[in-house]
Structures are given as structure tokens and as C-alpha cells.
Amino acid sequence: MSTTVTRADLSEAVYQEVGLSRNESADLVESVLNEISDNLIKGDAVKISSFGSFAVREKGERIGRNPKTGEEVPILPRRVLVFRASHVLKNKINSSLS
């Protein structure tokens, strides 16, 4: 069964590995997440070596279809977040299968 990693889990991992206090660990995790978020909001890409990259992509307006009624509906332009895993991360994930 899969579980979800939370901010608290990340803070606890920093606390265990680095030896900062629990409050300092939580602040560090918050700072990193805020830095990533702020850069994405500005439209900058975020690349984390050996992990992957996050980027914001602009999607234009298009016509969609309501699957229940078949009615055509306009889908407004929007920004979407995309994540692309690095080859290192992909290899780690696939090597865990064997």
C-alpha cells in the first residue's frame, strides 16, 4: 500500500539526517518549498539536479466537449505545472523493481 509524504515527514527526515531542531527543520522545508513556489509563480523553471525539473506551461483556449451531453464548451487559457523526472530518478525508480 502506498503512502503520502507530507511536509511533516520531510521536516522529520531533515531533523533525523541533518540534526537541526524540529522547528529549524520545519522552517528549512518551508523555505525550500516557498522558494520553488515563488519561482514557478514568476514563470521560471526549477531544476533540481538528479531529481527533475518543474516548469509552468501556458495552455491556450480551446474547445472541449462535455462527455455526458456532448455539448461543446470553451476551455479558458490557463497555466499548468509540469514535472519532468531526471534520468537519475527514473533509473532509481526502475532499479527498485528488480
CATH number at 68 reads: 4.10.520.10
List the domain range (segments joined by +) for residue 81.
45-98
Kindly tell me if the per-residue pLDDT of 28 is higher than 70.
yes
Predicted confidence at residue 25, as pLDDT, reads: 96
- Total structural domains within the chain: 2
Residue 17 shares a structural domain with residue 58? no
Cell 531544476 appears where?
A: 47
Q: List the grid coordinates of 88.
A: 537519475
Residue 16 identity (one-letter amino acid) = Q
Kindly tell me if the per-residue pLDDT of 82 is higher than 90.
yes
Residue of 51, 31, 41 lying closest to 91 (CA atoms): 51
H or E element in which residue 82 lies: strand 78-85
Residue 55 shares a structural domain with residue 89? yes
Kindly tell me if the per-residue pLDDT of 73 is higher than 70.
yes
Predicted confidence at residue 32, as pLDDT, reads: 97
Neighbours of 14 (CB within 10 A): 19
